[in-house]
Structure 1
Amino acid sequence: MSQDKITQIALSHVLLPLPKPISDAKVMTGVQKPMTEVSLLFVEITSQDGHQGMGFGYVLRAGGKAQYAHAQDLAPFLIGEDPNDIPRLWEKMAWQGASVGRCGVAVQAIGAFDTALWDMKAKRAGLSLAKLLGPYRDAVPTYNTSGGYFGTSIEEVCANADRSRANGIRGVKMKVGQPDVAEDIRRVTALRKHLGDEVPIMIDANQQWDRETAMRFGRAVDDLSLTWIEEPVSAHDYEGHAWLNANLDTPIATGEMLSSQESLQQLIDHRSVGFLQPDAPRIGGITPFMSLAGEAAKAGLKLAPHFVMEIHLPLAAAYPGDCWVEHFEWLEPLFEERIEIRDGCMQVPTRPGLGLSISEQTRHWTVASDRYGSA
């Protein structure tokens, strides 16, 4: 049997508008402005044998044009390659961009190609991505984040939490890290009182504390039975997270802002977390994610991938340890399909590949597109 070959690659740069501006602690402290849109890179790959795969990555705030530009540089190098050779093609793309490194925008562009190749591989086999990887479960516990941002009163946060619970979502996360720590504590305490002791609550400081402030806050809320405290200090402060993780009753979660497999490995090596939060599109796609997940499992960590439930759900299903998937409805308009949620869990899709097809509306949000190879 002759080997298959990649014959065409289509790239799209999409700007997805958000229903309303989004603010977290980085906005409250003046580091960033409210977020109004999500920049996405879509990669669609077609092979000589007629197989197709779709992958995507994203950027929040600055960097979307750079991600798309790097994808334009990479695409020609995959034409004529066997799409089955996914790890080798990841390395080939990484070497093409060696002078800009193996983190940040460089690997985030690679991640969209890598995901498309995995999507194609699963479709070729007639399997869902979870079945191709080898699932441990067919449903993954989920928590909602979008209802707990700043700019939302605590009464609205509680109402949003009730709505999420009514829609089958198990846990809720709210933002903390504003300059007034006492107000943060008041809001978290009010949410716990409203939901009762059994509902999982996560809180996220988005890197806005120093170690001492994080410790004081953690001790103040240790008796609230929180599932985790997320990003209490700088994302790159491996030792600070490890110190907090060792000395607080509440587990520490972090990892979403790190943009390479190697940097997340530092969290594992330093015992910095109870919950590791890798983001597949940010670290280069499914290939590095699954390698990292293997290391996390060996270390006995729990897994809670960041954002992009559409990609992370099948990856979490293939994780041997305890895991969560984060519910964000932001990206739903991009796709024709919807993820089913019931009994506190996202149901792992059984459709071939990722089980996603790009919506017609997404074409209207496309600001740039390119094609490489022949039809």
Structure 2
Amino acid sequence: MNAHPPLTIRDLRVRAAHVPLRIPLQTSSGTIHIAPLALIDLLTDEGVTGSTYLFCYTPLVLKPVVQLLNELLPVVKGDAVAPLELDRKLRARFRLLGVKGVVGMALAGIDMAAWDALSKAQGLPLARALGGELRRIPAYNSCGLGMIGAERAAAEAQQLAAPGFPAIKVRLGYADPATDLAVVRAVRRAIGDGVHLMSDYNQALSVADASARIQALDGEGLYWVEEPTSADDHAGHAQIRSRTRSRIQMGENWWGPHEMAVCVAAGASDFGMPDAMKIGGVTGWLRAAAIGETAGLPLSSHLFPEISSHLLAVTPTAHWLEYVDWADPVLQEPLRVEAGHVTPPDVPGSGIRWNEDGIKRCLVP
């Protein structure tokens, strides 16, 4: 007898929220003051609800994502909560248009909510529903350290490392390359040698400029240099790798496992960093994890720490969890960090439960 009867999709409830960032993040492409989140609830006939959120980067994209999710309800209503089949069906529906951008975001939202509902119905944390265990994952603090200059960056770095994080990340790409070096050195002096320092250029540089700047930083002990040039320039990243000693990190802009496979084949990166949304939700992540294992590529997460803690727990080459607290104001129980590590919560699903009072303060009409 089946102890867990199939779930059937009854409704999608999607809400838009502008969640203020505790520490605004200034990058080479602009300053982020709020997290534009699409809050998704997948309701079933059986009374189980799967929940997740999407980070939409800019308020300009939040409304279209919410609208598309609402338009997709008639497409999935009455379907079984079977994530692999939902993924197949929805990707087939958008085959001619493609599944990047807003479409990819919406499909990933449905996938993550479906997996949350499925694991809740089994009474298992998502990691266990996927066949894994609740493993401790090292986390690095990515909540700040934007492009704020050497003096402010040094003070903020101490603040980010203070709770016991074994690593933090600094954003680079100043107009003057000497400032990149000055910031890295100021941060290193502030945190000491016992904390790893990652860096991120947010795709700001040309291949030639990136090669020169990273060569100047090669002796500074950076753990990795993230996306120094355009994320889709795999050949360019491979050139940068060949010209510098620092390790290159890519992956947050892989729109699905196929793009990851192309990047890996090009030898573009020393590490991988899938984004739970862009890679295709839980289903896409599992496929990406298989590629990472085959290639021997250490995989870290990008944003979405709540669900990423579960996904890294079932990733053979799990590396680092990127910790941000951007969704905390709308969550009942934000993800806990203990001694610089996270462990997926031992509750059914991904652990995402809404703080309705917090949501009320952030809702977009």
The 1-side partners of 2:99 and 2:124 are apart by 31
The 2-side partners of 1:17 and 1:342 are apart by 24
Q: How does 1:27-46 map to 2 (within 5 A)?
A: 27=30, 34-46=31-43
* Residue of structure 2 equivalent to 1:31: none
Choose 127-136 or 347-356, whichever is displaced more.
127-136
The 1-side partners of 2:111 and 2:8 are apart by 15
Q: How does 1:283-294 map to 2 (within 5 A)?
A: 283-294=279-290
* Residue of structure 2 equivalent to 1:373: none
The 1-side partners of 2:246 and 2:318 are apart by 16
* Residue of structure 2 equivalent to 1:77: 75
The 2-side partners of 1:197 and 1:222 are apart by 16
Asked if 1 retains the 8 angstrom alpha-carbon contact of 2:150 and 2:182, the reply is no
AA in 2 matched with 1:273? S
The 2-side partners of 1:111 and 1:185 are apart by 38
The unaligned stretches of length 5 or more in structure 2 are none
The 2-side partners of 1:261 and 1:323 are apart by 18
The 2-side partners of 1:3 and 1:255 are apart by 34
The higher relative CO (CA closer than 8 Å, separation ≥ 6) is in 1
Q: Percent identity of the aligned residues? A: 28
Asked if 1 retains the 8 angstrom alpha-carbon contact of 2:238 and 2:266, the reply is yes
Deviations 1:176-206 (A, max 9, x none): 1111111111111222233233321001111
AA in 1 matched with 2:79? E
Match of 1:48 among 31, 45, 48: 45
Asked if 2 retains the 8 angstrom alpha-carbon contact of 1:56 and 1:113, the reply is no
Match of 1:332 among 328, 334, 350: 328
* Residue of structure 2 equivalent to 1:318: 314
The 1-side partners of 2:350 and 2:220 are apart by 37
Asked if 2 retains the 8 angstrom alpha-carbon contact of 1:333 and 1:359, the reply is yes
Asked if 2 retains the 8 angstrom alpha-carbon contact of 1:278 and 1:305, the reply is yes
Shift in alpha-carbon separation, 1:158–1:135, aligned structure 2, 3 A: farther
AA in 1 matched with 2:246? T
AA in 1 matched with 2:12? I
SS of 2:56's partner is strand
Deviation at 1:44, TM superposition (A): 1.1
Match of 2:8 among 5, 12, 28: 5
AA in 2 matched with 1:67? V
* Residue of structure 2 equivalent to 1:167: 163
SS of 1:147's partner is coil
Deviation at 1:344, TM superposition (A): 2.0
Asked if 1 retains the 8 angstrom alpha-carbon contact of 2:134 and 2:310, the reply is no
* Residue of structure 2 equivalent to 1:64: 62
Deviations 1:70-99 (A, max 9, x none): 11221111111111x211111212233334
1:135 matched to 2:132? The reply is: yes
Deviations 1:188-240 (A, max 9, x none): 12222332333210011111111121112222221222110001111111011
The 1-side partners of 2:147 and 2:132 are apart by 36
Paired residues, number: 360
* Residue of structure 2 equivalent to 1:150: 147
Asked if 1 retains the 8 angstrom alpha-carbon contact of 2:157 and 2:190, the reply is no
SS of 2:51's partner is strand
The 2-side partners of 1:16 and 1:182 are apart by 34
* Residue of structure 2 equivalent to 1:342: 338
1:216 matched to 2:219? The reply is: no
Shift in alpha-carbon separation, 1:3–1:209, aligned structure 2, 3 A: closer
SS of 1:100's partner is coil
Q: How does 1:79-94 map to 2 (within 5 A)?
A: 79-83=77-81, 85-94=82-91
Asked if 2 retains the 8 angstrom alpha-carbon contact of 1:197 and 1:225, the reply is no
Deviation at 1:54, TM superposition (A): 0.8
Q: How does 1:259-270 map to 2 (within 5 A)?
A: 259-270=255-266
Deviation at 1:6, TM superposition (A): 1.7
SS of 1:4's partner is coil
Asked if 1 retains the 8 angstrom alpha-carbon contact of 2:289 and 2:317, the reply is no
* Residue of structure 1 equivalent to 2:116: 119
1:225 matched to 2:213? The reply is: no
* Residue of structure 2 equivalent to 1:307: 303
SS of 1:227's partner is coil
SS of 1:141's partner is strand
Q: Please give the TM-score of this superposition, normalised by the length of structure 2.
A: 0.93
AA in 2 matched with 1:362? I
Asked if 1 retains the 8 angstrom alpha-carbon contact of 2:17 and 2:364, the reply is yes
Asked if 1 retains the 8 angstrom alpha-carbon contact of 2:306 and 2:344, the reply is no
* Residue of structure 1 equivalent to 2:188: 192
The unaligned stretches of length 5 or more in structure 1 are 28-33, 369-375
The 2-side partners of 1:363 and 1:207 are apart by 35
AA in 2 matched with 1:349? P
